[in-house]
Amino acid sequence: MKKRPLGQNFLKDPSIAQEIVRLAQISPQDPILEIGPGKGILTQFLLESANPLTALEIDKKLCGELKQKFATKSNFRLIEADAAKFDYGSIGSGLKVVSNLPYYAATHIVKRLIHYRDRIADMTVMMQKEVVDRFVAHPGQKEYGSLTVFIQFHCQVERLMEIDKTSFSPPPKIDSSLVKLTPLSGPRVLVKNQKTFFKVVNAAFLHKRKMLKNNLKDWQNQFQRENDHMHLAGIDLSRRGETLSIADFATLSNFIHTHHD
Ligand code: SAM
């Protein structure tokens, strides 16, 4: 079988591309960033209002084709680059990101964009359905995990549309979902120290079936016994990490940060 290491599953149907662009709610004069324009099916509609549209494409051959195809468009800027390593600080601010992301690097690219969230208005991105399930999950659901907490800590998340695998050429093995991530003006919950917060979150989900008292052993000198149960910051440690809300994680990590020796 032919290898497709660059996640090159191209959208076939222009009406789906048009719907994605509509859902991205672009106003004239919005600066747009498209990751992985491919053959330009989304790009052609985005260029109708972008000011400018910056496109990052890693594939040299596709870059050549795109340059030709959109040679007459003065608002088109193409950068041949790896979106997983790109310095997004170099291309302005207020960016609206629109992309059919390459699956193999989609989560990594989204995390990197969140790192540059001060420059991003919102991101309307298509990704593997299972990853979007994790982005939108609630406590208690099996998809809820450290990725959910990271995304929802920084962004408002809205699931917009499902796209069947048959809409792509070649069809991938998995279905896709379109999701909008809007960076919040500040973190969703107040935490004293973000490093401690994410350390606690990652530890809590390390062994998903284990109780918090086992996953949070690094902080056992702060555990308190109440009525035969171990607690930390008022949270019962016989619970599993997947039952805690983001606010619960903030409570835990703020206590740990304040009481660490
Ligand atoms: N936007 C097109 C569409 O909807 O048909 C193509 C989408 S395809 C899923 C992903 C695109 O991202 C491909 O054009 C691929 O070459 C490009 N790509 C893959 N890895 C990349 C990376 N690390 N940085 C930038 N572009 C990448």
**What pLDDT digit, counting tens, does each position of 203-241 carry?**
999 998 999 999 999 999 999 998 888 999 999 999 999
Asked if residue 165 and residue 72 are part of one domain, the reply reads yes
**Ligand 1 centre distance from Cα of residue 170 (Å):** 13
Nearest CA to ligand 1 atom 6: 38
CB of 11 shorter than 6 A to ligand 1: yes
Residue 188 lies in a domain: no
pLDDT for residue 3: 47
Asked if residue 151 and residue 35 are part of one domain, the reply reads yes
**Ligand 1 centre distance from Cα of residue 103 (Å):** 9
CB of 145 shorter than 6 A to ligand 1: no
Rounded to the nearest integer, the mean pLDDT of the chain is 95
Nearest CA to ligand 1 atom 2: 38
Buried b (16+ CB within 10 A) or exposed e, 173-196: eebbbbbbbbbeeeeebebeeeeb
**Ligand 1 centre distance from Cα of residue 57 (Å):** 6
pLDDT for residue 261: 63
Residue 189 lies in a domain: no
- Please report, as a single letter, which amino acid is at residue 170: P
CATH number at residue 211: 1.10.8.100
Asked if residue 246 and residue 137 are part of one domain, the reply reads no
pLDDT for residue 246: 98
To test the pocket of ligand 1, the residue of 3, 4, 8 to mutate (highest count of ligand atoms within 8 Å of its CB) is 8
Overall number of domains in the chain: 2
Q: How much of the chain, in percent, has pLDDT values that exceed 90?
A: 92
Asked if residue 48 and residue 140 are part of one domain, the reply reads yes
Mean pLDDT, residues 232-257: 97
CB of 41 shorter than 6 A to ligand 1: yes
Two tokens, residue 60: 């040299």
Last residue of a domain, one of 139, 157, 183: 183
38, exposed or middle or buried, with CB in 10 Å at 0-12, 13-18, 19+?
buried
To test the pocket of ligand 1, the residue of 16, 42, 57, 87 to mutate (highest count of ligand atoms within 8 Å of its CB) is 57
Q: Which single residue is written with the structure tokens 């530890």?
A: 203
CA 208 to chain centre: 21
Asked if residue 111 and residue 149 are part of one domain, the reply reads yes
Nearest CA to ligand 1 atom 5: 10
Q: What size, in residues, is the chain?
A: 261
Contact 209, 185 (CB under 8 A): no
Mean pLDDT, residues 85-114: 96
Asked if residue 133 and residue 176 are part of one domain, the reply reads yes
Q: What is the pLDDT of residues 46-88, one digit of tens each?
A: 999 889 999 999 999 999 999 999 999 999 999 999 999 999 9
pLDDT for residue 228: 85
To test the pocket of ligand 1, the residue of 35, 97, 104 to mutate (highest count of ligand atoms within 8 Å of its CB) is 35
The whole domain housing 241 covers: 194-259
Residue 224 lies in a domain: yes
Contact 76, 53 (CB under 8 A): yes
CB of 177 shorter than 6 A to ligand 1: no
Q: Is the pTM of this model over 0.85?
A: yes
What does DSSP assign to residue 121? E
Whole-number CA gyration radius for the chain: 21
**Ligand 1 centre distance from Cα of residue 153 (Å):** 27
Cα angle for residues 94, 95, 99 (degrees, 5° grid): 160
Last residue of a domain, one of 126, 156, 183: 183
Q: What is the pLDDT of residues 130-167, one digit of tens each?
A: 999 999 999 999 999 999 999 999 999 999 999 999 99
Asked if residue 100 and residue 74 are part of one domain, the reply reads yes
Helix, strand or coil, per DSSP, at residue 182:
strand
pLDDT for residue 58: 97
Which value, to the nearest 10 degrees, does the dihedral of the CA atoms of residues 94, 97, 98, 102 take? 170
Nearest CA to ligand 1 atom 23: 82
Asked if residue 200 and residue 72 are part of one domain, the reply reads no
Please give the number of the atom of ligand 1 that sits closest to the Cα of 85: 23
Contacts of 163 (CB under 8 A, 6+ apart): 11, 16, 126, 175, 176, 177, 178
Q: Is the pLDDT of residue 1 over 70?
A: no
pLDDT for residue 2: 46
Residue 179 lies in a domain: yes
Residue 2 lies in a domain: no
- What is the C-alpha end-to-end distance of the chain, expressed in Å? 57
What does DSSP assign to residue 11? E
